[in-house]
Amino acid sequence: MTSTAGRRLRGRAAGKRGGKKKARATAKRRARARVRASRPKQKPKRTPKARSRARRSAQGRGTKRAGAAPARVTKRATGAGGSRGTKRSVATPRKVRPGLRAVPARKRRAARPAPPPAFPQTAGASARSQLMFRMVKARASVLAAVQGLGAAAAERPLGEGKWSTRETILHLVTRDRARLREMEAALRGVRASWVGWDSERQARVNEEDLVPLRPTSWDDALKLLLTTRQELMEAVESIPEEPAEVWGEEHPLGWMFQRLPAHDLHHAESIKRWRTEQGA
């Protein structure tokens, strides 16, 4: 009797423990269900299906609609082993908007005309006028070369054994004076006194002509450069334009004046080059 009662008691205790386990499991399931219900629903991802060969062929054989541009076909190269086949992608035909016209081919541009001469006012001018224009232009280059140069910098020599800028300006004055002295004789056909001189004799005469002008200051040298050239231009203008042969290289007068612009440009370039190198 005692053993039977004991078994019953143990059975009841086991039943109670099993019921508690089931209750806890049920509570867990309900809690997980509530958590899932509280989450937002997500749509399952859909994997695109690979197009079949028949579908690709059908798209490629599609009829072209009126006014549609041809489809573009691109190929993808196969791998080294040839495992990947050729893939064709057919782009959607683009519609052509009605009313639009095709752009015509670009026409070839006409050749540009030659630029006009730099100084058209010299066209058709007399030999004397052209010479005077060259003299004015060359002397403007000299004035531009010394623009803004101070008196102290003008005293510095342009190189070893060379004149300073002030002495170079005075040398240009002496050459204008030499032409003022001999232009009347040259007009009569007499050659200039320095024709045929070598460089050594020319340098000696240049130094002799420069001696009386050496004390001239920088400012006075610039003024003398302007006044002497103005006097020379007036003298040239007083000579008649005809005959034109007088102003050519073959005539003594033309020979004397044709070399003057080149002489000015030579010294202007020397001064510019020195100022660029020295930063003066």
Domain at 139, CATH number: 1.20.120.450
Asked if residue 72 is part of any domain, the answer here is no
Give the pLDDT of residue 62: 56
Q: How confident is the model over 19-77, as pLDDT tens digits?
A: 777 778 888 888 888 777 777 666 666 666 666 666 666 666 654 444 444 545 444 54
Q: Is the pLDDT of residue 161 over 80?
A: yes
Rounded mean pLDDT, 103-108: 63
State the pLDDT at residue 22.
Answer: 78
208 pLDDT above the threshold of 50: yes
Rounded Cα gap, residues 31 and 37, in angstroms: 10
Q: What's the gap between Cα 16 and its chain centre?
A: 98
Q: Fill in the amino acid letter for 237.
A: E
Q: φ and ψ at 248, to 5 degrees?
A: -85, 170
Task: Provide the number of structural domains found in the chain.
Answer: 1
pLDDT in tens, 268-279: 999 999 999 987
Q: Is residue 64 part of a domain?
A: no
Q: Which residues span the domain enclosing 221?
A: 131-275
Residue 222: name the closest of 114, 148, 158, 273 by CA: 148
On the question of pLDDT at 123 being above 90, the answer is: no
pLDDT value at residue 186? 95
